[in-house]
Amino acid sequence: MSVAGLALHPFSTPKTLDEALALLAERSARAEKTVLLAGGTDWFVERHVAPAEEAGVLPLVVDVSRLDALRGIAVEGETLHIGAAATYLEIRKDARVAARCPLLAATARDVGALQIQARGTLGGNLASGSPAADGVAALAALDATLLLRSIRGARRVPLAGFYTGYRRSVLAADELIEAIEIALPPEGSPFAWRKVGTRQAQAISKVAFAGLAVVASGRLARLGLGMASVAPTVALLPATRALGLSKPLGEVTDADVEQAVLADVSPIDDVRSTAAYRRHVAVRLAQRFFGELRAL
Amino acid sequence: MSMETNITLTVNGSVVTLEAPPAARLLDVLRERLGLTGTKEGCGEGECGACTVLLDGVPVNACLVAFGQCDGREVTTVEGLGSTAHLTPLQEAMVTEGGAQCGICTPGMLLSAEALLREEPRPTEPQIREAIAGNICRCTGYQRIVNAVNEAARRREARS
């Protein structure tokens, strides 16, 4: 690629969130395509891999990476609020995230390598909709809520209701993801983060697993699970969650977990792995987490 | 909203104003408009780290940054470290420890290591390995690069 390769894309850098929302509204009313650019870790790769797709009218690229309204990390009461354009590096370095949401801190440390963490964002990960998104697997286990905004107003959508299919979501053409909200688990809540791939850094996961639990008197009071690369969207493993919440932990057997996980996942063969290997790993990762919870 | 935009940024300590397409990759603008060909293109997909530069002091892949995102920011390329006549301790150590073989990964490797040493003057081996995990080297097996970063830390401390 050269300077000429991406020269034709029109580009806009709104100074405020309101300006960005107005631009989105105008363009969606005219049915014109817009790309919101944050870290660019997906968009530039897609341009590199499939430049032929650029035929026709090019979308307007809108840089949202430096909008202050999308960048903050804050704890308000028992809710962790992360701006959609906060980077993984900012998340992993944040002392409040490390103390109150160590699952997310662990995931942020495992996304790509430092160069990717310095650019990649949760908002971008969510909006791209890749089923292999590590960050989204963690948000699934944390039962995150997404704050979506347009000039029509704001709405909150639980992650469980965000995706409608492979790389499809309920995000409207005039909307953007403003922030991610996480109801903080009690300090010290057990969690699991496991990324299985060819190499620890940079490799896209063959399977990634995130789990979070609140245990009280041998039972699960809260159970969140998320798994990447095992279904058309990041999987929330509803059958496995229901199993975990249905009876005392001591009565949940490995065979139960296997049956539930296999009902929850539908992996495919692709360049990174096979469906059979992914099913095997998915079951083992969930069994290991339940084993850790039983041993508490 | 435009095809070419004037953007002012600091490159290797000098303020420059450049007219270039804002959606162009920072990598291409550095190489083709500024002639800074020390920054290499490997994969073009943010995986190999050959195009690593520092953006406001933080390592990024220049193949994944839009030029239009660099307004008012500070970019450091390998040309901004030392010169042939005046190598930095890190560059010296890469030479003496045999941390560079074919050389394609070296500029990016140097910038990742430089960012680490600025933040952590006495890094542990795991910290070094994590800092360069986004820079792929197919020649050295990494050990000599890790040795070089260790040695650079020692030399920097000795000079300060």
Per-residue confidence of chain B (160 residues) as pLDDT tens digits?
Answer: 456 789 999 999 999 999 999 999 999 999 999 999 999 999 999 999 999 999 999 999 999 999 999 999 999 999 999 998 999 999 999 999 999 999 999 999 999 999 999 999 999 999 999 999 999 999 999 999 999 999 999 999 998 8
A119 contacts on B by Cβ (under 8 Å): 60-61, 64-65
ipTM of this predicted structure:
0.96
Q: What is the pLDDT along chain A (296 residues), one digit of tens a residue?
A: 677 666 578 999 999 999 999 999 999 999 999 999 999 999 999 887 766 555 678 899 999 999 999 999 999 999 999 999 999 999 999 999 999 999 999 999 999 999 999 999 999 999 999 999 999 999 999 999 999 999 999 999 999 999 999 999 999 999 999 999 999 999 999 999 999 988 777 788 899 999 999 999 999 999 999 999 999 999 999 999 999 999 999 999 999 999 999 999 999 989 899 999 999 999 999 999 999 999 99
Q: Contact B64/A39, CB-based, under 8 Å?
A: yes
CATH of A68-183, one of 3.30.465.10, 3.40.640.10, 3.20.80.10, 1.20.58.110: 3.30.465.10
Q: What are phi and psi of A262, to 5 degrees?
A: -65, -25
Report the CATH number of the A191-294 domain: 3.30.390.50
> Which residues on adjacent β-strands are paired with residue A11?
A61, B2
CB B62, CB B48: distance < 8 Å: no
Q: Are B69 and A40 within 8 A, CB to CB? A: yes
> Does B64 lie at the interface with A, CB-CB under 8 angstroms?
yes
* Alpha-helix runs per DSSP H in A30-65: 43-49
List A residues 157-216 in contact with B (Cβ-Cβ < 8 A). 200-202
- From the list A151, A157, A133, the residue with the least C-alpha distance to A231 is A133
Number of H helices, E strands in chain B: 5, 5
Given CA atoms A269, A272, A277, A283 in this order, what sign does their dihedral have? negative
Q: Please tell me the predicted confidence (pLDDT) of residue A211.
A: 98
Rounded to the nearest angstrom, the gap between the alpha carbon of residue B146 and the centroid of all alpha carbons in its chain is 16
Judge contact between B52 and B62, C-beta under 8 A: yes
Q: A–B: how many Cβ contacts below 8 A?
A: 126
Nearest alpha carbon to residue B57 among B75, B81, B78? B75
User: In this predicted structure, what is the pLDDT of residue B1?
Assistant: 47
SS3 A147: strand
Give me the CATH code for the B5-80 domain, please: 3.10.20.30
Cα–Cα distance measured from residue A119 to residue A239, given in angstroms and rounded to the nearest whole number: 35
CA triple A18-B23-A34, angle to 5 deg: 45
Does the beta carbon of A34 lie under 8 angstroms from any beta carbon of chain B?
Answer: no
Q: Where are the domains of chain B?
A: 5-80, 89-159
Task: Write out the CATH class of domain B89-159.
Answer: mainly alpha
Report the residue from B29, B44, B59 with minimal CB separation from A115. Answer: B59
- The phi, psi pair for A15, rounded to 5°, reads -90, -20
Q: Cβ distance A222 to A213 under 8 Å? A: yes
**Touching check for A296 and chain B: CB below 8 Å?**
no
Instruction: Spell out which residues of chain B touch residue A60, defining contact as CB-CB under 8 Å.
Output: 1
Closest CA to A26 of A12, A7, A9: A12
Question: In this structure, which amino acid lies at residue A128?
Answer: S
Handedness of CA B58, B64, A231, A280 (dihedral sign): negative
What's the confidence (pLDDT) of residue A54?
Answer: 56
Cα A127 to Cα A85, A178, A262, B141, distances in angstroms: 11, 11, 27, 37
Cβ proximity of A225 and A277 under 8 Å: no
Strands in chain A per DSSP E: 11-12, 34-37, 60-63, 73-76, 79-83, 145-150, 153-158, 163-165, 168-169, 176-183, 191-196, 207-216, 219-228
